[in-house]
């Protein structure tokens, strides 16, 4: 298995290298090898040379400049990485006749839509540069399916969390702050709701696409199908960590949406996807993992 990443300092490169080392150990235990290539997907010539040498059967495109708030501050970077980078990978994947191209998209493409549950057929209404870039990547993916006959799938992830998660997310920040005797910080009034999806369920959905072609050309929600308010999330983490204080509230951030909730009917029908990890269980797992790994995993606190 080959992994391409540019180790962008969007968050700690040290943390990323630790993640890489741990993933190498996991691969070795299963009798596999992890070939890491330090490369930016916007560098087309070098990327083309490397990927054509590897010639993978399946391309799992997880690379992106993440972060809604970051994209509001710098709208150019996510456009360059998430649109141009995706286009580079699609072109190369088409040329090597990959069996399938799986694109990691985002629930952010829906924006603020007035729906209880988000269905894939809903009209997208992105409200941040990041969301626009992810929707554009989806459209390019669909075009390569139609024009170049490259088997493609878009997976719209709903707020992924779990061990080794991106450090500047609500759950990682709440847990680290509480365990360091600091109040979890909530942006806005905390009444926003989110569909949090445990990493194991995300991985399971991706692995399903190694064994079926029923989803080719499709865009599919991958979420838990349940929602929780940010206030309630903070209270759960406060209780589970034993923190004795209360959350602190800061100004709402531009580009954030008020509500997300996945309808996973299509995922269940096409790839037999059924989320297994409830939010309380997932939080417990992350807290336990954090306690065991806090010497090197240090979210923003």
C-beta of residue 259 within 8 angstroms of C-beta of residue 192: yes
Annotation marks residue 157 as catalytic: no
Residue 81 carries which DSSP code? Answer: I
Q: In sequence order, what are the residues at sequence separation of 6 or more whose Cβ sits closer than 8 angstroms to the Cβ of residue 46? A: 39
DSSP assignments along 208-231, one per residue: HTTT--TTTTEEEEES-S--EEHH
How many Cα atoms sit within 13 Å of 264 on the Cβ side? 22
Q: In sequence order, what are the residues at sequence separation of 6 or more whose Cβ sits closer than 8 angstroms to the Cβ of residue 118? A: 107, 110, 221, 260, 261, 262, 263
CA distance 33 to 24: 7
Within 8-84, where are the H helices?
13-29, 44-54, 68-73, 76-78
Backbone angles phi, psi at 193, to 5 degrees: -115, 150
| Greatest pairwise CA separation for the chain in angstroms | 58
Backbone angles phi, psi at 59, to 5 degrees: -115, 115
Pick the catalytic residue: 130, 140, 161, 290?
A: 130
Catalytic residues, by residue number, are 130
């Amino acid at each position: 298995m080959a992994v391409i990443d540019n180790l962008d300092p969007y968050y700690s490169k040290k943390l990323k290298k630790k993640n890489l080392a741990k993933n190498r150990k996991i691969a070795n235990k299963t009798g596999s090898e992890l070939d890491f290539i330090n490369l930016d997907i916007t560098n087309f010539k070098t990327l083309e040379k490397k990927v054509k040498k590897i010639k993978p059967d399946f391309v799992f495109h997880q690379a992106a400049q993440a972060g809604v708030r970051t994209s509001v501050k710098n709208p150019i970077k996510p456009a360059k990485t998430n649109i141009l980078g995706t286009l580079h990978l699609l072109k190369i994947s088409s040329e090597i006749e990959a069996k399938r191209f799986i694109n990691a998209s985002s629930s952010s493409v829906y924006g603020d839509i007035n729906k209880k549950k988000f269905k894939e057929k809903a009209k997208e209404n992105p409200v941040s540069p990041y969301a626009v870039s992810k929707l554009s990547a989806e459209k390019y993916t669909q075009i390569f399916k139609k024009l170049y006959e490259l088997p493609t799938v878009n997976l719209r992830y709903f707020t992924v969390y779990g061990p080794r998660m991106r450090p500047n997310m609500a759950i990682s920040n709440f847990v680290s702050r509480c365990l360091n005797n600091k109040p979890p910080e909530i942006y806005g009034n905390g009444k926003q709701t989110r569909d949090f999806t445990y990493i194991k369920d995300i991985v399971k959905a991706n692995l399903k696409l190694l064994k079926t072609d029923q989803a080719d050309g499709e865009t599919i929600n991958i979420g838990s199908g349940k929602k929780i308010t940010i206030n309630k999330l903070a209270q759960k983490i406060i209780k589970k960590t034993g923190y004795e204080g209360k959350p602190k509230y800061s100004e709402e951030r531009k580009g954030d949406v008020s509500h997300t909730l996945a309808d996973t009917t299509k995922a269940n029908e096409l790839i037999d996807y059924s989320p297994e990890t409830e939010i309380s269980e997932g939080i417990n797992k992350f807290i336990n993992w954090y306690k065991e790994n806090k010497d090197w995993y240090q979210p923003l606190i």
